[in-house]
Amino acid sequence: MKQLLTFMMLSIFTLGCAQKTPEVQRTQFSKEALNQKLEDENGKNISVQEILNQHKGKVLVIDFWAGWCRDCLQALPKAEELEKKNPNIDFVFFSLERSKEKFDSSLERFNMKEKENYWFASGWKNDFNNYIDLNWIPRYMVIDQKSNIAKYYAISPEDPEIQKTIDKLLK
């Protein structure tokens, strides 16, 4: 009986915490989402719009992650493979660390210093993350050359739709 009760409790917990695919697959960002500020490694504020402008004309992959996220850390090697397989694609990393110190520490600890990194100093709940229905990390988005959303929702760098989207955009 105890085993059955334990199994039922674990099942309920797992279902309650499971990642839910957003019902709406957005193709553009709202004005509020684009105005959301992040911080770079030097503590300088930058908006999502400014980040996208820096990559306009290129295909961009946004990787949402954090050093405290076990799933994110397990995905890092595959994300690196995706990056190496696509040298003409830009990659940016949006961190959901809980503090600037943790952000800096994770970049060092997980060899991310050479990559383009930003973190949400405002925390998880903000205009950008709310708009894209960020309910779990890791999460990956592919942005096209005109800063539109080409692949809205992927939870693994191994999702074949990421590569298909990249290949389609490069044709």
**Of 42, 37, 47, 50, nearest in space to 123 by CA:** 37
Which pLDDT tens digits describe the chain residue by residue (171 residues)? 655 544 454 444 443 445 566 676 789 999 999 999 999 999 999 999 999 999 999 999 999 999 999 999 999 999 999 999 999 999 999 999 999 999 999 999 999 999 999 999 999 999 999 999 999 999 999 999 999 999 999 999 999 999 999 999 999
| pLDDT value of position 3 | 57
Residue numbers of the domain that contains 164: 31-170
Cα separation, 83 vs 86, in Å, equals 5
User: In the chain, how many domains are there?
Assistant: 1
- Token readout for 105 is 């520490």
Question: Helix/strand/coil (H, E, C) string of 50-68?
Answer: HHHHHCCCCCEEEEEECCC
Whole-prediction pTM: 0.86
- Token readout for 15 is 């279902």
In a domain, 70, yes or no: yes
Cα separation, 45 vs 123, in Å, equals 14
In a domain, 130, yes or no: yes
153 within 8 A of 139, measured Cβ to Cβ: yes
In a domain, 24, yes or no: no
